[in-house]
Protein backbone atom coordinates (compact mmCIF):
# COMPACT_ATOMS: atom_id res chain seq x y z
CA UNK A 1 0.00 0.00 0.00
CA UNK A 2 1.26 3.50 -0.71
CA UNK A 3 -0.28 4.74 2.56
CA UNK A 4 1.18 4.65 6.06
CA UNK A 5 -0.85 3.08 8.85
CA UNK A 6 -2.31 6.30 10.22
CA UNK A 7 -3.61 7.40 6.78
CA UNK A 8 -5.88 4.39 6.15
CA UNK A 9 -8.59 2.80 8.25
CA UNK A 10 -10.41 -0.49 7.61
CA UNK A 11 -13.51 -1.38 9.63
CA UNK A 12 -15.48 -4.61 9.67
CA UNK A 13 -19.13 -4.59 10.66
CA UNK A 14 -21.52 -7.52 10.87
CA UNK A 15 -25.15 -8.09 11.68
CA UNK A 16 -28.21 -10.19 11.04
CA UNK A 17 -30.12 -9.40 7.86
CA UNK A 18 -33.72 -8.27 8.33
CA UNK A 19 -34.97 -10.07 5.22
CA UNK A 20 -33.36 -13.48 5.64
CA UNK A 21 -32.09 -13.66 9.24
CA UNK A 22 -28.61 -14.66 8.05
CA UNK A 23 -25.39 -13.04 9.22
CA UNK A 24 -23.85 -10.51 6.86
CA UNK A 25 -20.53 -8.65 7.02
CA UNK A 26 -19.14 -5.65 5.21
CA UNK A 27 -15.95 -3.62 5.16
CA UNK A 28 -15.50 0.11 5.16
CA UNK A 29 -12.18 1.48 3.96
CA UNK A 30 -11.34 5.12 4.63
CA UNK A 31 -8.25 6.91 3.35
CA UNK A 32 -7.11 10.32 4.53
CA UNK A 33 -7.86 12.95 1.89
CA UNK A 34 -4.33 14.39 2.09
CA UNK A 35 -2.89 10.96 1.26
CA UNK A 36 -5.06 10.76 -1.87
CA UNK A 37 -4.18 14.31 -2.87
CA UNK A 38 -0.46 13.44 -2.68
CA UNK A 39 -1.11 10.72 -5.30
CA UNK A 40 -2.92 13.17 -7.58
CA UNK A 41 -6.37 11.89 -6.61
CA UNK A 42 -8.69 14.62 -5.43
CA UNK A 43 -12.29 15.76 -6.06
CA UNK A 44 -11.26 18.60 -8.39
CA UNK A 45 -9.48 16.17 -10.71
CA UNK A 46 -11.63 15.41 -13.80
CA UNK A 47 -10.97 11.66 -13.58
CA UNK A 48 -12.02 11.50 -9.92
CA UNK A 49 -15.65 11.08 -11.01
CA UNK A 50 -17.16 8.42 -13.22
CA UNK A 51 -16.94 9.72 -16.78
CA UNK A 52 -18.10 6.72 -18.81
CA UNK A 53 -19.33 3.15 -18.71
CA UNK A 54 -17.48 0.52 -16.70
CA UNK A 55 -15.25 -1.89 -18.62
CA UNK A 56 -16.66 -5.37 -19.29
CA UNK A 57 -16.02 -8.09 -16.71
pLDDT in tens, 20-44: 999 999 999 888 888 888 777 776 6
Q: List the chain domain ranges.
A: 5-41
What pLDDT, on the 0 to 100 scale, is given for residue 27?
92
Other Cβ atoms closer than 10 A to 48: 12
Complete DSSP assignment for 2-48: -S-GGGEEEEEEEEE-TTT--EEEEEEEEE-HHHHHHTT--TTSGGG
The pTM of this model reads: 0.50
Amino acid sequence: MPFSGERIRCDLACGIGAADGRRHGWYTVRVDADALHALGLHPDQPTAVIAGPSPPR
